[in-house]
Amino acid sequence: MKEKAINAFDEYFKNTGEFKNLELTLSRIEGALAEAGFREEALGGIIHVAGTNGKGSTCRFTADMLKTCGYKTALFTSPHILKVNERIVFDGYDISDADFDRIFLRCVPLIRKYRLSYFEALTITAFLYFSELKPDFSVIETGMGGRFDSSNVLNVKLPVITAIAKDHAAFLGSNIYRIADEKLAIIKDNKTVMLGMNTPSVTDYIRKALPDKRIILTEEASAKVPAPFGKNLALAENTVKELIGHLPLNFIPVLPPCRLERIGRFVLDGAHNPHGMRELVKSADTGRFGSVLISSTADRDIKKLVALLSPRFRNIVITEIPDNERSLRLPLDIAGTVQEKDAEKALNIAVELAGNADILVSGSLYLCAHIKKLLSD
C-alpha cells in the first residue's frame, strides 16, 4: 500500500485514538475556544445536525444545496475515509495540508492545556478555520451523542435531528428514549427544530419532549437518491427551504464516500448498526451480490448485523478492522460465517466466494475506508 503523508494533526495524535481521553463535559472545549478568541457569529447561519443514522449524508446534501444556491458554505463532518482533511470542508474543498497544519499548530498549546481529545482538537481547528473564511452558513455534524459533543458549544442555530436508534451503547446507553434525550440536547433555546423520519413512537416522544418548539417534520422520503438515503435528502431539502425559502434548480445530489459507493465489483456502505443495516438490506438488490465482507467495532452487536444479512446473502466473511483498537476480535461464535483476521486476506476470500457476482463491504465506515484504500492502491 502507498505510504500516506502524515500531517501535523496525524503526527500529534498517532498514539492517541479518537475515543481516548473522552470526558462527558463541554468545559474543556469551551475554555480552549474562549482563549482562542472564537465567536460563533463568525460561522454565519449554523445548521447543527445530530442523530444516530443519516447525519453525514444529511449534512452533505444540505451543504451542497446551499453552495449551489451561491452561499459560502462550511461543512464539518466525521469520520473521514482516506484523509482527516475530509472532515473540514469549505465550499466543497477539503482544508489544505498547509492550512490544517497552520491552524492546528497554533492550537497545540491550548490542546495541551485543556487536554483536548482527538475530536475536540478537530473541532477547534475547524471552527477557527471557518472563522477566517466567514461563511454564510456552517453545517456542523455532531461526532457522537449531542449533549456533551464538542460541537454543542454552539448556541444560536437551526437544530436538525435525523433518525434515532440504538448505537454507541457503551457511551449513550441502550434506552432509545434516553438516547433521544442526548440528541435533543443540542436544541437549547432555539425555537425551530428540523426532524427527520423516525418510528412513530420516537416521533411521539420527541413531540411530547418539545412542547414549546416549532417542529418541522420530514414525512416523505425523496426518490432522487437510493432508498436508504431518500429520508436524509428529504430532511436536507426541508432544512434548506427553512433557511432560504427555496431549493436550487437542477440540483443533482451526490452521496458521501462509502455510502453505496461502487468501485468496480465492490459496493461499500458503512451501515454499522441494526437500524442502518435493515435499511441497507431492505433496499439492496441482494441477488447481484455473491458475498459480504463485514466487520464492526466491539461495542456494536455484530451477531445482530450478521443475522440481518444471512437470510439474503449466502456468503458472509467477517474480519477485523485494521489498526483500530476498537475493532471486534476474532474468532466469534457465529455459525455460517467465514472468519479471517487479516482484512486483505478476508477480501480475497470474499472475492473467491462471490464468483462472478458483486461483493458488498459493510458494517463499519472504518472497514469501508480501509478496503477503499486497498482498491484505490
By the 8 A CB rule, do 26 and 148 touch? yes
Q: What percent of the chain has pLDDT over 70?
A: 94
Residues 108 and 187 occupy one common structural domain: yes
**Does residue 191 sit within a domain?**
yes
Q: How many domains does the chain have?
A: 2
pLDDT reading at 3 higher than 50: no
Instruction: Quickly tell me which residue has 434506552 as its cell.
Output: 175
Determine the average pLDDT of the residues in 279-283.
89
Residues 277 and 207 occupy one common structural domain: no
Pick from 54, 101, 99, 102: nearest CA to 74: 99
Residues 240 and 275 occupy one common structural domain: no
| Helix H or strand E encompassing 338 | strand 338-339
Pick from 333, 225, 352: nearest CA to 293: 352
Q: How far apart are CA 18 and CA 202, in angstroms?
A: 30
How many Cα atoms sit within 13 Å of 197 on the Cβ side? 20
Residues 132 and 80 occupy one common structural domain: yes
Pick from 267, 250, 247: nearest CA to 259: 267
307: left (phi over 0), alpha (psi -120 to 50) or beta: alpha
How confident is the model at residue 20, as a pLDDT?
A: 58
The residue type at 32: A
How confident is the model at residue 285, as a pLDDT?
A: 79
Q: For residue 193, what is the domain's CATH number? A: 3.40.1190.10
Query: End of a domain among 217, 244, 271?
Result: 244
| Helix H or strand E encompassing 366 | helix 365-376
Q: How far apart are CA 64 and CA 48, in angstroms?
A: 15
**Does residue 251 sit within a domain?**
no
Residues 147 and 176 occupy one common structural domain: yes
pLDDT by residue (tens digit) across 213-247?
Answer: 999 999 999 999 999 999 999 999 999 999 999 99
Pick from 176, 181, 175: nearest CA to 161: 181
By the 8 A CB rule, do 54 and 198 touch? no
Q: How far apart are CA 128 and CA 37, in angstroms?
A: 9
Range of the domain at 291: 261-376
What's the DSSP call for residue 53? Answer: B
Whether pTM > 0.75 for this model: the answer is yes
Residues 142 and 203 occupy one common structural domain: yes
Instruction: Quickly tell me which residue has 463532518 as its cell.
Output: 77
Determine the distance from the C-alpha atom of residue 164 to the mean position of all C-alpha atoms in its chain, rounded to a whole number. Answer: 13
Residues 152 and 16 occupy one common structural domain: yes
Residues 223 and 287 occupy one common structural domain: no
For 40, residues 6+ apart whose C-beta sits below 8 A from its C-beta are 46, 153, 154, 155, 156
Q: How far apart are CA 127 and CA 43, in angstroms?
A: 8
By the 8 A CB rule, do 1 and 377 touch? yes
Residues 237 and 267 occupy one common structural domain: no
Q: Who wins on pLDDT, 265 or 168?
A: 265
pLDDT reading at 172 higher than 80: no
Q: How far apart are CA 282 and CA 77, in angstroms?
A: 26
Q: For residue 304, what is the domain's CATH number? A: 3.90.190.20
Residues 88 and 170 occupy one common structural domain: yes
Q: How far apart are CA 54 and CA 225, in angstroms?
A: 13
Query: End of a domain among 244, 275, 293?
Result: 244
Residues 146 and 225 occupy one common structural domain: yes
Largest CA distance in the chain: 59
Q: How far apart are CA 1 and CA 22, in angstroms?
A: 32
pLDDT by residue (tens digit) across 7-28?
Answer: 899 999 987 666 555 678 999 9
How confident is the model at residue 110, as a pLDDT?
A: 98
C-alpha grid cell for residue 7?
A: 500531517
**Does residue 3 sit within a domain?**
no
**Does residue 25 sit within a domain?**
yes
**Does residue 252 sit within a domain?**
no
**Does residue 254 sit within a domain?**
no
**Does residue 76 sit within a domain?**
yes
Pick from 138, 111, 118: nearest CA to 33: 111
Q: How far apart are CA 363 and CA 370, in angstroms?
A: 12
Query: End of a domain among 244, 271, 306?
Result: 244
pLDDT reading at 4 higher than 80: no
How confident is the model at residue 175, as a pLDDT?
A: 87
pLDDT mean across residues, the chain: 93
